[in-house]
Amino acid sequence: MYYLKCKHCNHLNEVKSEYMMVCGLCNRKLEDNFKDWKTRHPEKTFEDFQKEVCLTEEQVKKGDLSKPEGKKNKKGVIAAGIGALLMVLFIVLLISEFSKAYKAQVGDTDMPVLEQQWYMGTYAGGVSLATPKAMKSVGNAIRGRLPEEVKALMKEMDGFAYNGYGAEIMLMFAEYVPEVGQADLDGAAEGVLNNVKGQRGVFDLKNDKAYVQMGDMTGIVMQGTYVKGGTEYEFRITMYVDGLKLYQLVSSNKKGDDIARGVVRRINDSFKVAGHEELKTE
């Protein structure tokens, strides 16, 4: 027997059917209903929903109403944690005060940016990246925004940012504790999009997803558009997983800005991780 706890009145609703949408006591919509969950997990079943989202009868008897049991829930926490990290990156990207302050610090030159000699930097996790100016460390700012349950999963984490020529770039490296087992790439990607969609002021987000390789490392690239403040932006999120290590590169620019688009493209093309160079064929 499985139960869903109403977040409005705390009533425990017995989950007998996939069509249960409202609380039996206060008649409000259950936030963790199967229909909404299924849209985010189209490959999963009602039985999966019961095991991963609902409370068991044993938990209810014990009074443990905080989270589902089992290994799958741990993976959900990990994926949510990764998604939360990317949400933080997007929040930082969209803070205009940060952008203005950093642009004033690094400045721009009269020479066209795509003709300049760029700074080739080496960052956390062995990442190398070319940017017009060196990226600024924002790891402390990011860590300060993370929930404690996410911090508990981290062995190491750092973040870097660049803003200029209409392009906003964020790089993040995270290494998880051994108890995690392995970072969940697909779960992370799903968590990212769900968190970005839920940001205040961001709407009409559209994206495509593709799997990519960097040497022996598998990754995901998600790119598309979103609207904020009446302006349409283009974004690209690149994620790679190597065991317990997660690499993420996020870019954003106004749609139709060809200079910013060229900057973003050149930065993304320079993204490399030491030890995962492209495999050469004879």
For the cut 80, the answer to whether the pLDDT of residue 83 exceeds it is no
For the cut 90, the answer to whether the pLDDT of residue 111 exceeds it is no
What is the separation of C-alpha 83 from the centre of its chain, rounded to a whole number of angstroms? 4
Find out whether 234 and 146 touch, Cβ atoms under 8 Å.
no
**194 or 207: which leads in pLDDT:** 207
**91 or 138: which leads in pLDDT:** 138
Q: What is the DSSP string of 89-155?
A: HHHHHT-HHHHHHHHHHH---SS-GGGSPPEEEEEGGGEEEEESSPPEE-HHHHHHHS-HHHHTTEE
Distance (Å, rounded) from C-alpha 143 to C-alpha 148?
A: 10
Which of 205, 202, 208 minimizes the C-alpha distance to 221? 208
Compute the average pLDDT of residues 34-45: 88
At which residue do the structure tokens 């954003």 appear?
252
Pair of tokens at residue 113: 């940016």
Distance (Å, rounded) from C-alpha 80 to C-alpha 38?
A: 17
Q: What average pLDDT is seen over the chain?
A: 80
Which of 275, 278, 270 minimizes the C-alpha distance to 131? 270
Pair of tokens at residue 217: 């490392």
Find out whether 34 and 2 touch, Cβ atoms under 8 Å.
no
- Tell me, what's the pLDDT at 232? 93
Percent of the chain topping pLDDT 90:
29
- pLDDT, one tens digit per residue, over 224-279 is 998 988 889 999 999 998 988 989 998 989 999 999 999 999 999 999 999 997 65
- Residue 29 is given by DSSP the state B
Find out whether 81 and 145 touch, Cβ atoms under 8 Å.
no
* Exposure string for 7-22, b = 16+ CB within 10 A, e = fewer: eeeebebebeebebee
Percent of the chain topping pLDDT 70:
79
- Tell me, what's the pLDDT at 31? 83
Give 266's strand partners. none
Say which residues have a Cβ less than 8 Å from residue 230's Cβ, sequence separation at least 6.
none
Which amino acid is located at 215 in the chain?
A: G
For the cut 70, the answer to whether the pLDDT of residue 203 exceeds it is yes
